[in-house]
Amino acid sequence: MHEIGVREVVQVAGFSFNLETLYMTWIAMAIVILIAFLATRSLKLVPTGWQNAIEMVVTALNEQLDANMGKRGPMFAPLIITLFLFLLVSNWLGLIPLMSSPTNDLNTTLALALMIVVMLHVLGLYYRGWKYIKHFFEPIFPFVVINIIDEIAKPITLAFRLFGNILAGEILIIILLMLVPIWMPIPSVIWLAFSIFIGGVQAFIFTMLSMAYLAGAIHKDDE
Amino acid sequence: MIELNATLFAQILNFLILVAILRAVAYKPIMRILKAREDKIAESLNKADADAQKAEATLKGYQEQLAGARVKAQNIVDKAEKRAREDREASVLETRQEIEQMKKAAQAEIERERERAVEQMKSEVVALSIAAAGKIIAKNIDASESEKLIGEFIEKLDKNKIGDLPC
């Protein structure tokens, strides 16, 4: 029986790694790359079938980025698209028996959230310089406390929202399978369908929030 | 259950690698094809506009030519009609003259015929008179009286009348 939360840990050069998470991450990456490769294998000037869907998604995302980030938006398009695809595949991977989501490990979600937050601070400093530091002390000096709490809350909320949703979904699937006899699969099936929905929604939320944070950090000085 | 370790950094690395791969494999080709299509569409639209303008200009030219041709044709028809009318009038006039001439000629002929007939009649009447006179003389009148009778008889013959008959 699958043991929840207990992970095989290996030590490499003094660092410990969660093996299952890494394997699942690589599988998810492989699937994402495969999808991207298949989708863009034979691009034509006159789009047909899959190409229409892929282009629609890419165009819609680019428009979002344009609207949120201004002229620097397109630079982040590959990042945002990859983020969404990776999270979607990761979230759904755990719904396959014997697999688990890379995103049911806090290491993964916090890694992505921290990456986004570090990136937005670095980009904010790079693009806006002194004004970026100053905006932490606005509107008046004491607000620095609230602003810093806000900045710290960003990666934590991002990471825990995704982690919690996905882990809870997987736990409940396992529990449902234990509780309900095998000839009564309806609750499990319903929960599985709901988990598919949750996976998509969480991937979308994570991506959209990342985009909004990044936009907030780099967009304001355009005005 | 929740423990953070070096997996976190490994995941960041994994994700950045994935971003790089996707960017090269999928994003760039898609953007390239989108750009290419955008260019193509813009080009096509421009071309279509230019074509439409050209077509309009050509149509205008044709319409002008057509109008010109119509005016020209009208002129030609008018001219032809005028000439035909003139020709007809001329021919009518000529015919009339011809008829007139023929009439005159016929009248002259008739006149001539009549004169000849009168002459003939006159000579016949003379001969008849002489014969009649001869018979009368032979019966009871002498020569001098008969000659006087004949002379009177001839005097009575008008130039245009034979006896009392109109000619």
pLDDT at A7: 67
CA distance B51 to chain A (A): 23
pLDDT at A69: 72
pLDDT at B79: 96
Is A3 domain-assigned? no
CA distance B14 to A68: 27
Q: Which domain holds residue A139?
A: 9-218
CA distance A86 to A32: 6
Q: Of chain B residues 24-53, which have a CB less than 8 A from chain A?
A: 25-27, 29-31, 33-34, 36-37, 40
Summarize the confidence of residues A187-197 as an average pLDDT.
84
Give the phi and the psi of residue B142 in degrees, each rounded to 5: -80, 175
pLDDT at A223: 46
Instruction: Render pLDDT for B86-134 as a digit per residue (tens, 0 to 9).
Output: 999 999 999 999 999 999 999 999 999 999 999 999 888 888 888 888 7
Chain B residues whose beta carbon lies within 8 Å of the beta carbon of residue A54 = 30
CA distance A207 to chain B (A): 14
**Which residue of B12, B30, B31 is in closest CB contact with A111?**
B12
Chain B residues whose beta carbon lies within 8 Å of the beta carbon of residue A39 = 26
Is B79 domain-assigned? yes
Summarize the confidence of residues A63-83 as an average pLDDT.
78
Give the phi and the psi of residue B2 in degrees, each rounded to 5: -105, 105
Task: Check CB contact under 8 Å for B23 and A78.
Answer: yes
Reply yes or no on whether the pLDDT at B60 is more than 90.
yes
Is B5 domain-assigned? no
Higher per-residue pLDDT: B46 or A70: B46
Is B152 domain-assigned? yes
Is B166 domain-assigned? no
CA distance A28 to A15: 23
Summarize the confidence of residues A27-34 as an average pLDDT.
88
Is B165 domain-assigned? no
Is B3 domain-assigned? no
Tell me how many domains chain A contains. Answer: 1
Q: What is the mean pLDDT of chain A?
A: 81
pLDDT at A57: 78
Task: Check CB contact under 8 Å for B7 and A85.
Answer: no
Summarize the confidence of residues B149-158 as an average pLDDT.
72
Exposed (0-12), middle (13-18) or buried (19+): which is B5, by Cβ within 10 Å?
middle
Q: Which domain holds residue B16?
A: 10-159
Reply yes or no on whether the pLDDT at A221 is more than 80.
no
Tell me how many domains chain B contains. Answer: 1
Residue that has been written with the tokens 């009575």 in this structure: B156
The encoded tokens of residue A152 equal 């710290």
Is B107 domain-assigned? yes
Instruction: Render pLDDT for B11-50 as a digit per residue (tens, 0 to 9).
Output: 888 888 888 888 888 778 878 888 888 899 999 999 999 9
Summarize the confidence of residues A41-52 as an average pLDDT.
74
- Percent of chain A exceeding pLDDT 90 equals 1
Higher per-residue pLDDT: B41 or A8: B41
Chain A residues whose beta carbon lies within 8 Å of the beta carbon of residue B31 = 58
Exposed (0-12), middle (13-18) or buried (19+): which is B52, by Cβ within 10 Å?
exposed
pLDDT at B23: 83
CA distance B27 to chain A (A): 6
**Which residue of A16, A55, A77 is in closest CB contact with B5?**
A16
DSSP state at residue A2: P
pLDDT at A170: 83
Is B32 domain-assigned? yes
pLDDT at B1: 52
Instruction: Render pLDDT for B118-128 as a digit per residue (tens, 0 to 9).
Output: 999 988 888 88
